[in-house]
Structure 1
Amino acid sequence: MKKIITFCLLFCLTISLAQSKLKKADKLFKELKYVEAAQTYEEYLEKESNPSIEAVTHIADTYYFLDKPREALTWYRKLYELQGQTLSDQYLIRYTQSLRGVRDYDKADEITKNELLKKRDDKQASHFMAQKKYNDSLASRPSLFTIKPVAINSSKSDFGPAFYGNQLVYSSAKDTTKFHEKLYSWNQQPFLELYVADRNISTGELFNELPFLENIRSKYHDATVTFTPDLKTIYYTTNTLKKSRLLNDKEGVNNFQILRATITDGKASEPEKMFFNSLDFSVGHPALSPDGKWLFFVSDMPGGYGETDIYVAEVFSDGKLNSPLNLGPTINTAGREMFPFYINNTLYFSSDGHYGYGGLDVFESKQSGKLFFSEPKNLGEPINSNKDDFSFIIDPELKFGYFSSNRDTGKGDDDIYYFTKAKAPCDQIVSGKVINAKSKLSLDGAIVKVFDSFGDYKTEVTTLPNGEYQVTIPCGGSYRLQASKTKFVPQEKEVITGLKNQDQIKDVNFELANLDDFVVIEDNKKKVDINPIFFEYDKWGITPQAVIELDKVVYVMNTFPKVKIKIESHTDSRGKDLYNMMLSDKRAKATQEYILSKGIDPGRIESAIGYGEKRLRNRCSNGVKCSDEEHLLNRRSDFIIIEE
């Protein structure tokens, strides 16, 4: 009995200690003290054979936020096994990004495809495959980018470069300030401060780094800046403070805000808060357009598409800002979109929601119209890696710039890299001919447009009088060519160019169909132009000769998807009236069934009716002596076009 009691006491004590350990880990997690939280969760889970989903989620997130994909993967895999189909889009992204973080790209793709198949989300599946196809094409051609780390990188976090005339302003956790004794509990590093450095225009190297605008420096994070074109106004990200102390929301989390200040003689004015700052959510990573009229920024405010979205607000001439607008689902995903930079009608940003190499990747998207952006394109290696790559900036001539990354080859946590960008290596010529699909005659003035693998328009040419065209497109990519002409149905073909300047790609030919070539007008009605359809005597089965003609109708309906018809079948006057009526109706229905069997939508055939001998085309009515040729004119099936 004593042994049993002792065992029970020890068992209860073990449970109590385990629960105490879990409670401590949860508290550290909630306070964003991820380094300590990870260790405490490990101690708890080492002895817990059946952990809760919440505990597994928390330890996975802890390692994810600490950028330890291998450790995070262990627990996200466990979470995926526990939750299966109920795993949210956010956690599916974190799981697959952890796989990419350890370069297990095939497994990440497999899981993503399986989840999309389960959801039957054709649009998202198409988007995924298009981005994967583009990324695969990047691997087959040389990169335009050459990169190198800058010498001033420290063992701590250095990131967020911003052009400041011939200098560079950046964020760093290097421990050289008077607040060195305060550490950020997330990663046990000093809080971020702003620095300015001179820039070697030839090599991109940074030197003579100094603290920037010390009079607005807080005791906590000050980071990611942007400047007006005259460099007299700064927007920057900082913690939400009240009387120099952190101000937390109801959940105990301190959010970020954007402040604005005027710079005079190397000092900043009293910072001004943006009206869209909030205690309840974060705003940060400001980026002004080169003309200073648009402010892009990042936020996790309610109503977004994912963890963090990119927004834009118009900046008026008096400095006031319009209400922010979300850039929409083309840019924003269920994951994180961060660190926008805008120049030359192009938005550069980082994302872990779009298809990439792992962690945050840098993407570019062309703008056309106020808020319309093209499908984002991955910049590829070496800009992107299996780790976080972000804070990308580039000069107006697109020749050089800087970005940040925490890749394994770096000096510290986040490092700043300088890059140069070369021009596209080569072009190739694609040529061919555009002709009329029926007459085979050349089509003069047809337009051949070129689109890249994301559907973005690139260029176009017009055919010569002999129907020939020639267009120049970049090497090493997949392109879609579309030939079109007024009243003709457009036709598309895919072209994949090689990696080097080569002889032109020839014979990319098009045959365009015009509806007028396939119709005849009779009795003021448009009808599909076919030969008479014959049926065996007293039968309505489709004969081999009828198949040839009916296939012409099917071709017209497939080629011109807006065409709708009605079917009318007729007989000659020989035979009884009622019998002819029934026979023609059966033949009309038989032709309808054949056309539908070829995959034509039933909604495109309004009716199929037999009219017997009611609508004769000549004098050969009952009792009138006529030749077989004259009677033949009345035995017919008409396919009347009622909509085109």
Structure 2
Amino acid sequence: MKYILSLSILLITVNFAMGQRDLRVAERYYDEYAYQEAIQAYERYLENSNKEPELDVLQKLGDANLYLSNIPQALNWYRKVYEMQGSNISDQYYLKYIQALRGNRDYEEAEKHTKKYIERKHDETLVKRYVAQKKLIDSISDDNSLYTIKNLEAINTPNSDFGPAFYGDKVVYASSKDSVVGNMYSWNKQPFLSLYAAIQNGDTGDLAEPKPFLPEIASKYHDATLSFTKNLDTVYYTTNIRHKKNKLLKTKEGTSNFHIIRGILAEGKLIKTESLPFNSTEYSTGHPSIRQDGKYLFFVSDMPGGYGETDIYVTQVFPDGSVNTPKNLGSKINTEGREMFPFVKGDTLYFSSDGHYGVGGLDIFSAIDKGDFNYENPKNLGRPVNSNRDDFSFIIDSTEQYGYFASNRLEGKGDDDIYSFRKEKPACDQFITGTVTDSLTKKPIAEVKVTAFNKYEEQVADTVTNTNGVYQLELPCEQTYRLVASKPNYTQDEEEVTTEDENKATIEGIDFVLTNYDDLIKKEDDKEMISVNPIYFDFDSAEITPKAITELDKVVFVMREFPKVKIKIESHTDARGSDKYNLQLSQRRAESTQAYIISKGIDATRIESAKGYGETQLKNHCSNGVKCTDEEHELNRRSDFIIIEK
């Protein structure tokens, strides 16, 4: 019995020792980024352990699988972390758990925990950001996305290919397809990253004939993620920190960090390099992106004092090449998670994040700088650019019509693949608004139809005024339109308007004035006539005077505004003078007014007749031999424009 007890104690001791050895091995592999070996060692340790697994072991098993893109396995371990800690789980690991749920397309469960995470932060800003970002993603589908994407199979390999950068008519990118000296990266069992330049097809976006880029940069370790100034005379790139003997320089914890190198280029060759002053052996800096004016450099770092695992920073670059203290872009951009791969185009910052609300893994976002690096809330680019896996290293050309990004989505060719994309111009519409009023009463007119015509005279939109005479049209941006306001029994009015390039902006004050048909006519003896003042001619003349033109233009106006109106012209004189003379004079004047109206573009067929009646149709008693005042005679001198059809 004593022998059996001693043997049991010995076996327990041996198992414990073996378990501790597996744990030490696992820790060493993990610190050396040999995540596959670390996973195996941690799992052996748990199999041989008789006690509850330590939190640190569960976390590292989740992280190691996450870093290798083993999302289902990472989710399994993060779920155990959550089950062990519950509401006490750290923000960092709660976000990783949520991201793993999204990466595994367990979206309903992810939503539940996202809301729990936000609730425990007690931050209304996070609530508003979540609502806005979720609403945007929900509104974007593959069918209504601005982007169409294509896997660049000609250059992608089974290994990692990512980090594209424009370089003249070429694109430079990082790839682990080859190893300069045969070294293998323990993280993913692939060769270390090297830089390649591929010829760019501007029409299709395809990349071809990749060749090693700047061989003088090449090291035995990682060389990746670079950015060029506009004139291509300076390059910023990321590489491992090394000793002078080209060996990795590690921190006391055994970590090999990255730093940013600035290189001066001449005729496509690197002639000088320098490490930027904010680099440190104690933390990493990388993913540089120089703004096109060359004045600001954006980059990523895990330096102390940030918001999360990695944050995006900006530093000013002065004409002499010196830089100032980097500035964190703040909580609008950076989260408790990872913000990486910045790219700046104009006032828009593109970057990848797993801390903002997304589809899963790293998603690509855009944020507009309102000034002094004060950004609007980031917007997710949505599918198909983003997937449930990591999507990153987004770049877009100067026309904002095409570009490239990388993704490790499952349907890719290899580990990380480069994709090209085409981007349609986003929809842009503006509102045109105004009021329609009556020319006589100045009151608003309801139910007026306002129609917009494009430059091809095609109708593109219409609406009607409300009871207050107000209308509103929505029209595409950056176009010129002819707007016509019309209503039965009213004249028409039109205006030309040009929309601008600001979505949902409003152009106000495009007003119209209409005249009622009834205000343009008069009725006498059951006759409907165009209302004009007396038309005066010089003595013994039928020539049109300036005063006559003013009145005749009223007739032209009515006939233009109401194209169905037809008239007959009747001209009359007073009784002074001989009957024959007055008859002839009135006929000449009737014909003269007819000729004027036709000269203004009115179809002659719309004037049935032009007849002079002389003094045969007096309106009062002032006939031959009757003494009358000038005012009484004036009443008989008239031209009538009688409406015979409308």
TM-score range, shorter chain: 0.5 to 0.7
How big is the shift at 1:194?
0.6
1:287 aligns with 2:289: yes
1:259 is paired with a residue whose SS is strand
Identify the residue that residue 152 of structure 1 maps to in structure 2: 155
Instruction: Answer yes or no: is the 8 Å Cα contact 2:15–2:48 preserved in 1.
Output: no
Instruction: Answer yes or no: is the 8 Å Cα contact 2:35–2:186 preserved in 1.
Output: yes
2:297 is paired with a residue whose SS is strand
Identify the residue that residue 164 of structure 2 maps to in structure 1: 161
RMSD over aligned CA atoms reads: 2.4
- Aligned counterparts, 1:194-593, within 5 A: 194-243=195-244, 244-424=246-426, 427=429, 468=470, 470=472, 472=474
Give the paired residue count: 447
Instruction: Answer yes or no: is the 8 Å Cα contact 1:135–1:356 preserved in 2.
Output: yes
Deviation digits for residues 275-300 of structure 1 (CA, Å, limit 9, x no counterpart)? 10001111100001111111110111
Change (3 A) 1:430 1:52: farther
Identify the residue that residue 37 of structure 2 maps to in structure 1: 36
Identify the residue that residue 518 of structure 1 maps to in structure 2: none
CA distance, structure 2, for counterparts of residue 46 and residue 430 of structure 1? 71
Report the residue type matching 2:19 in the other structure.
A
How big is the shift at 1:322?
2.0
How big is the shift at 1:431?
7.4
Instruction: Answer yes or no: is the 8 Å Cα contact 1:424–1:474 preserved in 2.
Output: no
CA distance, structure 2, for counterparts of residue 239 and residue 126 of structure 1? 39
1:171 is paired with a residue whose SS is strand
CA distance, structure 1, for counterparts of residue 307 and residue 172 of structure 2? 31
How big is the shift at 1:4?
2.2
Deviation digits for residues 152-173 of structure 1 (CA, Å, limit 9, x no counterpart)? 1011100000000110000000
Instruction: Answer yes or no: is the 8 Å Cα contact 1:216–1:270 preserved in 2.
Output: no
How big is the shift at 1:359?
0.6
CA distance, structure 1, for counterparts of residue 98 and residue 212 of structure 2? 39
Change (3 A) 1:331 1:465: farther
2:216 is paired with a residue whose SS is helix
CA distance, structure 2, for counterparts of residue 276 and residue 92 of structure 1? 31
Instruction: Answer yes or no: is the 8 Å Cα contact 2:343–2:349 preserved in 1.
Output: yes
Change (3 A) 1:132 1:42: same
Identify the residue that residue 19 of structure 1 maps to in structure 2: 20
Identify the residue that residue 59 of structure 1 maps to in structure 2: 61
Identify the residue that residue 142 of structure 1 maps to in structure 2: 144
CA distance, structure 1, for counterparts of residue 117 and residue 335 of structure 2? 16
How big is the shift at 1:46?
2.8
CA distance, structure 2, for counterparts of residue 129 and residue 425 of structure 1? 22
Question: Could you tell me the TM-score, scaled by structure 2's length?
Answer: 0.66
2:140 is paired with a residue whose SS is helix
Deviation digits for residues 558-615 of structure 1 (CA, Å, limit 9, x no counterpart)? xxxxxxxxxxxxxxxxxxxxxxxxxxxxxxxxxxxxxxxxxxxxxxxxxxxxxxxxxx
How big is the shift at 1:109?
1.1
How big is the shift at 1:19?
1.5
How big is the shift at 1:378?
0.2
Instruction: Answer yes or no: is the 8 Å Cα contact 1:198–1:206 preserved in 2.
Output: yes
Instruction: Answer yes or no: is the 8 Å Cα contact 1:357–1:385 preserved in 2.
Output: yes
1:201 is paired with a residue whose SS is coil
Instruction: Answer yes or no: is the 8 Å Cα contact 1:216–1:271 preserved in 2.
Output: no
Report the residue type matching 2:160 in the other structure.
S
Instruction: Answer yes or no: is the 8 Å Cα contact 1:349–1:392 preserved in 2.
Output: yes
Change (3 A) 1:378 1:190: same
Change (3 A) 1:328 1:34: same
CA distance, structure 1, for counterparts of residue 70 and residue 235 of structure 2? 34
Change (3 A) 1:115 1:215: closer
1:107 aligns with 2:109: yes
How big is the shift at 1:77?
0.4
How big is the shift at 1:363?
0.2
Instruction: Answer yes or no: is the 8 Å Cα contact 1:38–1:62 preserved in 2.
Output: yes
How big is the shift at 1:432?
10
Structure 1 residues without counterparts, runs of 5 or longer: 434-440, 443-462, 476-644
Question: Could you tell me the TM-score, scaled by structure 1's length?
Answer: 0.66
Deviation digits for residues 27-85 of structure 1 (CA, Å, limit 9, x no counterpart)? 21122211110111122223435111111111111111111111011110000111112
Change (3 A) 1:474 1:253: farther
CA distance, structure 2, for counterparts of residue 76 and residue 60 of structure 1? 6
Larger radius of gyration: 2
Change (3 A) 1:147 1:141: closer
Moved more, 376-385 or 286-295: 286-295
Instruction: Answer yes or no: is the 8 Å Cα contact 2:429–2:474 preserved in 1.
Output: yes
Structure 2 residues without counterparts, runs of 5 or longer: 436-442, 445-464, 478-646
1:278 is paired with a residue whose SS is coil
